[in-house]
């Protein structure tokens, strides 16, 4: 029954398939896919992989060792046991591409110059009013969740509270100015604040008799300016630089004191002395300490719970450090970061050991910002592959189940609804995937659009589950396939995106697992329905995606984000819109650069 429906239902669609282009490269750039790696007790590793299928690779070595069981075209899979290493070089030769090679390093190896961030000086000008809104009438006691009747300090448990912090915060709307200034290999940030009033109210217990000293100090028309340098050290740390008395400036217009103690009412007399000490001596005291104080790389652990069962599905080790900080002649700030994102051995999913991530060496691109670009991020493709390797090792993708309805698949969904299996266009369905080998990303600088990229995923397991309406879930399709997605992205200053859908998809089905369509329709017809179905969806959804990309925007509220992060309601609403303004690949295919524009509404 299914076979007959497939034959009649796919005639027209197969014409579409015949005219539709494919991404040509189904395997990584060397033509070799690593499917599994086993670590042996004798400090060797056993590597299982396959070559092709599009090239007849006649020569294959890994770190100079050649698998003995590899026969081109006849037995494209291989197994090779070699000494373990932190670095592996895969070299292949075929008559079409010639000699090709790829380097892989262990998953936790740091990527130097993994990310370069360029921040527009004009963007900092826009940040000033945002800071003003965030600080307007801000209560620091509320932000810190300190109640006015909550004891802040108690010297002895048997006596009354020694200190209450009744009030601390800013009254009124301050003025804020933030900008960069060039200063050699140093990122110099200039901050200027003019605050209408800073208030501090305390209750301090009297030591020798009952009662409290209640004091409220209000500093009015406070002006603070700071010029702070940030520099990277040779040992992957950063330092803060204050080396000139003028780096810090304080002016207090007036001091008002309301207190039940005589001593506190004398504080305004010392206003001039306070500002003199800060302006003339603070840098001399703090600067030498900062010059010796290095802030090292801080390792972080990022747990992720994908399926919401309160059990971590992946734990990632993150370590980032500053390589270089500077300011361009255009007063744009530039930060170059190195580091790694990896998965520890104890958090690696079974069967997910790897040789390492693919390394592609290259030069950092220019940090020059395009029109309307506020922030530009240049990502090393090596770093991107390291992230992909960490995701692969975690096995986190197997926890993801994408819910849809049959009708969401367009004409292909209509074909499924006509299979005679009781499905309707409203039948719930789910997609699940699982990596069978390490995916790899490469960049292409001569694609249709400036940012060309290709993702290759060998032995990707794909499952399609459908609710049959009878209280059970049908395993409709379950298969392994090599898949390649090749596309390119272009961006305009106004946020419009260009996406290339030509030759976007290539696939090679390698195995069917027990499932409904193959069992009733046969594997050959099942291959047709998968290939035709995917291309039908691409044809139908491409115009919709292109239309959405013409107005691609991300709207968010910074105030709400800060409130959620800090578990408070003290920050005002600050709507913002982000959009892509630049997208390009470096000349050596080692970096992808994405420019972002941010508008504060």
Share of the chain above pLDDT 70, in %: 94
d(CA 58, CA 172): 75
Q: What integer pLDDT is reported at residue 2 of this predicted model?
A: 54
Provide the Cα torsion 87, 591, 496, 499; round to 10°: -50
- Asked if residues 53 and 22 have their Cβ atoms less than 8 Å apart, the reply is no
Do both 92 and 148 map to the same domain? Answer: no
Least trusted range by pLDDT, from 53-57, 112-116, 400-404, 444-448: 53-57
| Residue showing tokens 């309805």 | 405
The verdict on residue 16 lying in a domain is: no
Return the ∠ at Cα 388 (arms to 382 and 389), rounded to 5°: 85
| Sign of the four-CA dihedral 529, 457, 307, 515 | positive
Residue 259 has pLDDT above 70, yes or no: yes
Q: Does residue 563 form part of some domain? A: no
**Average of pLDDT values for 364-373?**
91
- Domains: count for the chain: 3
Q: Are residues 210 and 87 in the same domain?
A: no
Kindly state the average pLDDT of the residues 526-543. Answer: 83
Strand partners, 213: 204
Those residues whose C-beta lies under 8 Å from the C-beta of residue 519, and which sit 6 or more positions away, are: none
pLDDT of residue 540: 82
**Which residues lie below 8 Å from residue 101, measured CB to CB, with a gap of 6+?**
30, 89, 90, 91, 92
**63 and 183 assigned to the same domain:** no
Distance between CA 485 and CA 502 in Å, rounded? Answer: 11
Instruction: State mean pLDDT over 183-210.
Output: 89
Is 4 a residue whose pLDDT tops 80? Answer: no
Indicate if the pLDDT at residue 318 is higher than 90.
Answer: yes
Distances from the Cα of 191 to the Cα of 124, 179, 180, 275, angstroms: 10, 7, 9, 18
How distant, in Å, are the alpha carbons of 197, 216, 482 from that of 268?
A: 15, 12, 76
Domain boundary among 267, 295, 323: 295
165 and 76 assigned to the same domain: no
Helix (H) or strand (E) holding 17, with range, is: helix 11-19
What CATH number is given to the structural domain containing 83?
2.60.40
Residue 56 structural domain: 32-105
Across the chain, what does the average pLDDT equal?
Answer: 87
Distance from C-alpha of 211 to C-alpha of 451, rounded to nearest angstrom: 71
* Count of all residues that appear for the chain in the document: 601
CB atoms near residue 208 (< 10 Å): 4
| Residue 138, domain CATH | 3.15.10
- Does residue 21 lie in a domain region? no
User: What is the pLDDT confidence band of residue 503, given thresholds at 50, 70 and 90?
Assistant: confident
pLDDT at position 192 is 96
Residue 223 · residue 251 · CB < 8 Å: yes
pLDDT in tens, 269-289: 889 999 999 998 899 999 898
What pLDDT score was predicted for residue 27?
Answer: 64
Shared-domain flag, residues 241 and 271: yes
Question: What average pLDDT does range 325-349 have in this prediction?
Answer: 92
Same domain? 76 vs 172? no
pLDDT at 16: 38
Is the pLDDT reported for residue 93 higher than 80? Answer: yes
Q: Closest Cα partner for 51 from 523, 590, 480, 508?
A: 508
Residues 37 and 173 in one domain: no
What pLDDT is attached to residue 342? 94
The answer to whether residue 14 scores a pLDDT higher than 60 is: no
Q: What is the pLDDT of residues 288-309, one digit of tens each?
A: 988 888 888 778 888 988 877 8
Q: Are strands 212-232 and 175-182 parallel, antiparallel or unpaired?
A: unpaired
Same domain, yes or no: 465 and 541 = yes
Q: Decide if 544 is inside a domain.
A: yes
pLDDT of 196 reads 96
Has residue 565 been placed in a domain?
no
337 or 294: which leads in pLDDT: 337
Q: What is the mean pLDDT of residues 105-132?
A: 93
Q: In this structure, what DSSP letter does residue 56 have? A: -
Mark out the alpha helices in 507-593 (DSSP H runs).
Answer: 516-521, 523-549, 558-566
Mean pLDDT, rounded, for 144-166: 83
**267 lies in the same domain as 208:** yes
Mean pLDDT to the nearest integer, 423-451? 93
Domain assignment of residue 587, yes or no: no
Q: 100 versus 25: which is more confidently predicted?
A: 100
Confidence check: pLDDT of 193 > 90: yes
275 and 147 fall within a common domain? yes
Q: pTM of the prediction?
A: 0.86
Q: pLDDT band at residue 185, thresholds of 50, 70 and 90? A: confident
Asked whether residue 115 carries a pLDDT value surpassing 90, the answer given is yes
The reply to whether 150 falls in a domain is: yes
Among candidate residues 265, 295, 325, the one where a domain is terminated: 295
Which of 71, 105, 139 is the last residue in one of the domains? 105
Report the DSSP beta bridge partners of residue 484: 456, 506
- Of the chain, the percentage scoring pLDDT greater than 90 comes to 52
So what's the pLDDT on residue 174? 96
pLDDT band, residue 387 (cuts 50/70/90): very high
83 and 192 inside one domain = no
- 280 and 409 share a domain? no
CA distance 584 to 444: 10
pLDDT of residue 12: 38
Is 23 among the domain residues? no
Measured from the Cβ of residue 503, the count of other Cβ atoms closer than 10 Å reads 16
């Amino acid at each position: 029954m299914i076979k007959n429906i497939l034959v009649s239902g796919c005639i027209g669609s197969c014409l579409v398939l015949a005219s539709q282009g494919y991404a040509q490269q189904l395997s990584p750039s060397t033509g070799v896919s690593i499917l599994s790696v086993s670590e042996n007790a004798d400090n060797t590793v056993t590597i299982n992989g396959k070559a092709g299928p599009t090239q007849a690779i006649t020569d294959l070595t890994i770190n100079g060792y050649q698998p003995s069981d590899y026969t081109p075209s006849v037995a494209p899979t291989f197994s090779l046991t070699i000494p373990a290493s932190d670095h592996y070089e895969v070299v292949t030769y075929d008559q079409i591409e010639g000699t090709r090679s790829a380097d892989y390093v262990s998953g936790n190896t740091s990527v130097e110059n993994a990310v370069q961030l360029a921040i527009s000086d004009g963007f900092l000008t826009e940040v000033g009013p945002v800071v003003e809104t965030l600080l307007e009438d801000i209560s620091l006691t509320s932000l810190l969740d300190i109640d006015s009747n909550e004891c802040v300090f108690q010297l002895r448990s048997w006596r009354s509270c020694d200190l209450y912090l009744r009030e601390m915060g800013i009254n009124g709307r301050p003025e804020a100015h933030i900008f960069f200034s060039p200063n050699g290999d140093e990122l110099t940030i200039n901050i200027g604040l003019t605050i209408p009033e800073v208030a501090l109210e305390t209750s301090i217990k009297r030591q020798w008799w009952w009662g409290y000293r209640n004091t409220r100090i209000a500093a009015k028309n406070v002006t603070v300016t700071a010029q702070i340098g940030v520099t990277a050290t040779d040992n992957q740390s950063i330092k803060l630089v204050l080396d000139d008395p003028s780096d810090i400036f304080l002016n207090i217009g007036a001091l008002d004191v309301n207190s039940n103690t005589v001593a506190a009412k004398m504080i305004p007399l010392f206003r001039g002395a306070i500002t003199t000490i800060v302006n003339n001596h603070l840098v001399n005291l703090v600067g030498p300490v900062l010059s010796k104080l290095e802030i090292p790389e801080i390792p972080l652990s990022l747990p992720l719970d994908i399926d919401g069962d309160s059990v971590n599905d992946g734990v990632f080790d993150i370590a980032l450090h500053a390589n270089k900080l500077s300011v361009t002649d255009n007063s744009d700030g530039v930060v170059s970061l190195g580091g790694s994102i990896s998965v520890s051995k104890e958090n690696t999913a079974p069967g997910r050991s790897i040789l390492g991530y693919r390394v592609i060496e290259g030069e950092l691109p220019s940090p020059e910002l395009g029109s309307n670009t506020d922030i530009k991020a240049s990502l090393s493709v090596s770093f991107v592959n390291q992230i992909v390797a960490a995701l692969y090792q975690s096995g986190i993708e197997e926890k993801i189940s994408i819910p849809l309805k049959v009708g969401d698949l367009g004409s292909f969904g209509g074909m499924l609804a006509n299979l005679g299996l009781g499905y309707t266009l409203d039948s719930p369905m789910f997609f699940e995937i699982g990596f069978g080998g390490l995916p790899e990303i490469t960049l292409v600088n001569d694609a249709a659009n400036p940012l060309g990229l290709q993702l290759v995923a060998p032995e990707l397991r794909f499952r399609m589950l459908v609710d049959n309406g009878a209280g059970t879930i049908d395993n409709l399709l379950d298969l392994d396939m090599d898949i390649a997605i090749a596309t390119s992205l272009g961006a305009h200053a106004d946020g419009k995106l260009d996406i290339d859908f030509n030759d976007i998809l290539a696939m090679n089905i390698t195995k069917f697992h027990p499932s409904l369509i193959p069992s009733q329709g046969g594997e050959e017809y099942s291959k047709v329905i998968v290939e035709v179905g995917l291309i039908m969806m691409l044809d139908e959804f491409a115009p919709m995606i292109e239309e959405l990309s013409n107005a691609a925007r991300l709207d968010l509220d910074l105030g709400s984000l800060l409130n959620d992060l800090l578990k408070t309601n003290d920050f005002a609403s600050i709507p913002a819109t982000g959009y892509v303004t630049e997208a390009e690949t470096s000349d050596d295919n080692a970096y992808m650069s994405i420019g972002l524009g941010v508008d504060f509404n």
